[in-house]
Structure 1
């Protein structure tokens, strides 16, 4: 009886280990000192905790993205997120010193979340909002896709086995969602694709519901139209992808 219990315990532990493929993360936050005259800076991103190649690559990629968003001082290369926050703040204070009556408080908000993970793929979506004066702020999203087994970030070209076939399917989906007649040009209803030819966005990422195409404001439409997203179920694109994916539970 005791042997049977030990066997069942070992079996359950084995099954649990096979199912538990997720990396360990902890939330990491950075904020600027808050005062009536300070810029508002709020950065919240996940930090991979494991001492592995993929964890190191994830943390490095996130750090580089946040620095690129916040670093306003082109003459100084920020090495850390804290350096980038200082660069953002310094640029605000320099401008305020020159134009005290015209400068409104700057804002920077960055939030990173895991949108997909299985044993092969992990995707983190980085949402950001910047306001540095003017009529309105600017929001954007950036997908970071990682190959967990190779321990590297994936370029868009590495996602697809047949990118041309995927793009053809994506155009069909785009036309259906945006009500663009099949026989008309892609810009016939007011879009602004260059050369009047459909193309994939710069941002593509894995989500729970499918592969998401994210067109930024201004990328193919006016600012008033906002960002445009197309989500294609994995079941429709499985044969076009380099790495099979599994829907998150």
Structure 2
């Protein structure tokens, strides 16, 4: 009887460890109270609230990405979101001190959400907007992709069995979407791919609709053209993907 009980308890523990890739998030907000002479910062992101390695991996990746977005001065050493916010505000304060007549207020807004999750994978998208003077601000997104079973963040190459194989498929779909024939130069309609060669964007991630490729403004087209977005349904691209998505 004791042996059976021990086996039962061991099985429960084993199953709990095996399935320890479940995630729970809570909203996490950062920013400052509105004021006339300070930069406006508003950040809302999901925070993984467990003690697992996966939670730490996700929260660390989010923190580092937000610091990268907010750091106006590369010489500043910011190790937390609060420090990055302070750095952003300090740079605006320096500008106001140097040019007191400057009335334009700096602004930073970052919002994060889970756009895809299954037993193996997780994707979080950060939508952000920065305004630091000039004719217009700059808005974009960042995708963060994670392998839940290994508790690691994935780079773009790790998403695919063979990234060059997928790149060829993506180029054909890009040409189809943008009305560029296979015999024409990829830049024949005004795109600005370097060396006139198609390449994947740095920014890609999963949504419930499939894999999204996001070319930022200026990445392959003019600012006026806005971002270029391609979405590939899972059933069309599963053969290219390293991890099962459905």
| TM norm structure 2 | 0.90
Q: Tell me how far 1:183 sits from its aligned partner.
A: 1.6
Q: Tell me how far 1:67 sits from its aligned partner.
A: 0.9
Q: How does 1:72-221 map to 2 (within 5 A)?
A: 72-221=72-221
Query: Is the 8 Å Cα contact of residues 21 and 118 (structure 1) preserved in structure 2?
Result: no
Aligned counterpart, 2:58: 58
**Partner SS state of residue 146, structure 2:** strand
Query: Is the 8 Å Cα contact of residues 112 and 124 (structure 2) preserved in structure 1?
Result: yes
Deviation digits for residues 68-119 of structure 1, max 9, x if unmatched? Answer: 1112233331111111111000100100110121351000000111000000
What stretches of structure 2 of length at least 5 have no aligned partner?
Answer: 1-17
Aligned counterpart, 1:69: 69
Query: Is the 8 Å Cα contact of residues 21 and 148 (structure 2) preserved in structure 1?
Result: no
Q: 2: distance between equivalents of 1:69 and 1:103?
A: 23
Q: 1: distance between equivalents of 2:140 and 2:232?
A: 20
Deviation digits for residues 106-141 of structure 1, max 9, x if unmatched? Answer: 000001110000000000001110000000001111
What stretches of structure 1 of length at least 5 have no aligned partner?
Answer: 1-17
Aligned counterpart, 2:33: 33
Q: 1: distance between equivalents of 2:208 and 2:92?
A: 38
Q: 2: distance between equivalents of 1:38 and 1:96?
A: 9
**Partner SS state of residue 30, structure 1:** strand
Q: Tell me how far 1:19 sits from its aligned partner.
A: 11
Q: 2: distance between equivalents of 1:22 and 1:187?
A: 45
Q: 2: distance between equivalents of 1:62 and 1:200?
A: 23
Q: 1: distance between equivalents of 2:153 and 2:75?
A: 28
| TM norm structure 1 | 0.88
1:227 and 2:230 matched: no
